Chain A
Amino acid sequence: MPKTEVRSTDYANAPINENLSKEERVKLLREMMRIRRFEQIALKFYNAGKMGGFLHLYIGQESVAVGTVSLMGDNDHVITAYRDHGHALAVGMGMNECMAELYGKATGCSKGKGGSMHYFAPDKNYWGGHGIVAGQTPLGLGLAYGIKYKGLKGAALCFLGDGAVNQGVVYESLNMASLFDLPVIYVIENNKYSMGTSLERSSVIDKCLAQRAEAFKVDWALANGEDVYEVRAVTQQALERAYEKSRPTVLEFQTYRYYGHSVADAKHKGGYRKEEEIERYKKQHDPIVIFKNRLLAEKAITEEQFEAIEAEVKAEADESARFAEESPYPTVESIYDDVYFEVDRQTEAGRTGRFFFNN
């Protein structure tokens, strides 16, 4: 059966990692810290009533987005589900536009029309931000199909959670990815809970979720998502498979979210999971702490430099909240913008017939 399992004790020595400069290593840490601080500030102001709707925090999982996205080239594309802030910042979206979107402001990345679950940045090959569980998986397939159709050497990284793997469209997509040799990489971020339902209560598992790929003759790998080096090493193999063979891969990264499914998830502490479990992950498996210690040991960073980065990303996050606070809301008139391309551009097609039906 096709299968890939990288098993080495130290992924720092993997080809994709061993030649990283000090600066590049520190950047990986810094990106993880940016995501965490951004979300901590978002949580603070969500709790202060500045935002509506849901806020699905990525805190605890930062190494997965940062590790995978750090490998992206010009023809690689990313798409994910609703826990999308981490991937957005990792591809290079600014904190300001991301925070303003949470505030529902016109300066938000989607002009206040998408909210937390719907971040997009096509200029950075980032295609959302999708609210319906697994709804993004055939879109990821389509990105890969588009890459191949255009004759480009690239891959589509399509992220999904451990809960999403029980949606039928995932398997339709895997079948087609394999059937048509499409360069898509499905990245399962297994944080062990689909909302309040544990993995054991939602999924039949032999070795792991990624193993289900075998049914479609798709290569797969299971890896520890808390180690950004490991994430990169395993992802790189999948990327090479996509580039060289135009073949799909399913990766599963074991990871953990410290907060609830969303901030509104009141039962995540002491309800469906024990507080000790959360504390154990924070103490023993935190991707930022692990990588920081790694870089200290490698002498790539000092404690003082780490503190300085902390201060910088906090200032950046604080500034984004100020920016969001001071930004204007979209106007009621703008509700009708961005529905139809042709209407927005006032092309002939956009000026022919009636599109909106309010009086």
Chain B
Amino acid sequence: MALIEYRDALNQAFAEEIERDPNVVLIGEEVAQYDGAYKVTRGLWKKYGDKRVMDTPISEAAFIGMGVGASMLGLRPVIELMFWSFATVAYDQIINNAGQIRYMSGGLINCPIVIRGPANGGTNVGATHSHTPENWLGAIPGLKVVSAATPYDAKGLMKAAIRDNDPVMFMENTLLYGNRGEVPEEEYIIPLGVADLKREGSDVSLIAHGRAVLTALKAAEILASEHNIQADVLDLRSIRPLDEEAILKTVRKTHRAVLVDENKPFCGVSAQISATIMEQAFDDLDAPVARVCSLDAPAIYSPAVEPLQLPTPERVIEKVLKLA
């Protein structure tokens, strides 16, 4: 298998879907001639031209709304937000139009769009550019939310998202774009709603999504080598739909759960996971569910401090040791 970067795995997904379906079109700021602000769409405009890869002005509300309108006529726009944080200026289009139009039309309309881009802190760009809105968007019935931690998952999930007939909010991560991972040559698709057990253990379940999965994996290695604690690491991959069975399965195996989440704790994705475990696996627990989230304040700029605002392996280990 080829070892490729996360951004190139996404790039392959776009190229393959553009070639497969004439209705797929990439839309966004700098996605075409500039090759993408983070080079995720590198080379695609040159290869597929203006019709399939379209630069837009800095008008998130209009180009997302345009994508929603076009999707009603059968197009499958894949719309890049340079940062998911910029969704705030397009919230009406995402929430009310993409998210509610099917319902309000009594099922007459569907909106097969993908909105994608990086949604992460940790790059010292301040609070306005560091939001992780998977919990905001996951709270909206009508939207689907996906978060990919590895190149393999990024490609497989993106292909599923593009083929999905509902609006899919796809969370990427600037800190992961350069990560390399194995991606098979042959075509594959990862369905939405299927979590992935990234590491097997028996003592505690670390449940995470996005970059927090890598944080959990690092913590699990140290727990194994230094504390003789074997952790299951479950990558949710999809927030909505959610693979509850996988969550309950790991909790029923290890009887302890530590949720690792780059969301802030209040109404973060982990708050929902915690409720799910409490409601459905209370009797299986040997300890209260614990959480390691981003520290509950706007994202700090200071390069020396910001990494500590996000979940770290050390904080995960500390929580796990408290449960043991």
The interface of chain A, by Cβ under 8 A from chain B, is 77, 79, 108-114, 118, 120-122, 127-132, 135, 137-147, 149-150, 156, 168-169, 172-173, 175-176, 179, 337-342, 344-345, 347-349, 352-357, 359
Contact = CB atoms under 8 A, between A and B. Distances in A.
Contacts of B194: 352-353
A141 B241 contact: no
Contacts of A342: 164-166
Contacts of B104: 110, 113-114, 118, 120, 128-129
Interface stretch (B80-88, B105-113, B114-122): B105-113
B243 interface: yes
Contacts of B299: none
A149 B75 contact: yes
Contacts of A356: 141
Nearest to B111: A341
Interface string B121-162: 000000000000000000001101000000000000000100
Contacts of A143: 69-70, 72-73
B9 interface: no
B70 A146 contact: yes
Given A110-B106, A149-B25, A339 B142 contact: yes
A112 B192 CA distance: 30
A141 B27 CA distance: 14
A344 B105 CA distance: 14
A87 to B, nearest CB: 15
B228 interface: no
Closest 10 CB pairs of A and B: A142-B69, A353-B193, A138-B65, A353-B241, A146-B73, A172-B62, A338-B107, A111-B106, A172-B59, A139-B69
B103 A338 contact: yes
B164 A349 contact: yes
B166 A176 contact: no
B59 A176 contact: yes
B318 interface: no
Interface stretch (B92-100, B207-215, B253-261): B92-100
Interface residues of B, number: 55
A142 B107 contact: no
A297 B141 CA distance: 56
A251 B20 CA distance: 40
Interface string B267-308: 000001000100100000000000000000000000000000
B105 A341 contact: no
B51 A138 contact: no
A126 to B, nearest CB: 10
Given A127-B72, A342-B164, A139 B65 contact: yes
- Among A77, A168, A349, the most chain B Cβ lie within 10 Å of the Cβ of A349
B105 A122 contact: yes
Contact of B241 (A156, A168, A172, A352): A352
Contacts of A172: 57, 59, 61-62
6 contacts: A79-B69, A110-B104, A145-B70, A145-B75, A338-B102, A338-B107
B82 to A, nearest CB: 16
Contacts of B62: 137-138, 141, 169, 172-173, 175-176
Contacts of A129: 104-105
Contact of A340 (B59, B70, B102): B102
A135 B97 contact: yes
A176 B101 CA distance: 23
Contact of B107 (A111, A135, A156, A347): A111
A144 B104 CA distance: 22
Contacts of B25: 149
B66 A145 contact: yes
A354 B241 contact: yes
Contacts of B75: 145-146, 149
Interface string B174-201: 0000000000000000011110000000
A76 to B, nearest CB: 12
A113 B165 contact: no
A338 B110 CA distance: 9
Given A121-B108, A135-B97, A344-B107, 4 more contacts: A114-B103, A132-B92, A337-B107, A341-B165
Contacts of A139: 65-66, 68-69, 72, 97
Contacts of A132: 92, 96
A352 B103 contact: no
B69 A141 contact: yes
A172 B69 CA distance: 15
B202 interface: no
B7 interface: no
Contacts of B279: 359
B92 A128 contact: no
B67 interface: yes
Contacts of B71: 142
Nearest to A170: B62
Given A128-B101, A353-B243, A108 B106 contact: yes
- Among A121, A129, A132, the most chain B Cβ lie within 10 Å of the Cβ of A132
A150 B142 contact: no
B74 interface: yes
A131 B104 CA distance: 10
A338 B74 CA distance: 18
Nearest to A111: B106
A319 to B, nearest CB: 22
B59 A145 contact: no
B242 interface: yes
B234 to A, nearest CB: 14
A129 B51 CA distance: 30
Contacts of A122: 72, 105, 108-109
A112 B105 CA distance: 9
B193 A352 contact: yes
Contacts of A137: 62, 65
A350 to B, nearest CB: 9
A142 B108 contact: no
A185 to B, nearest CB: 14
B64 interface: yes
A340 B165 CA distance: 8
Nearest to A174: B62
B306 to A, nearest CB: 31
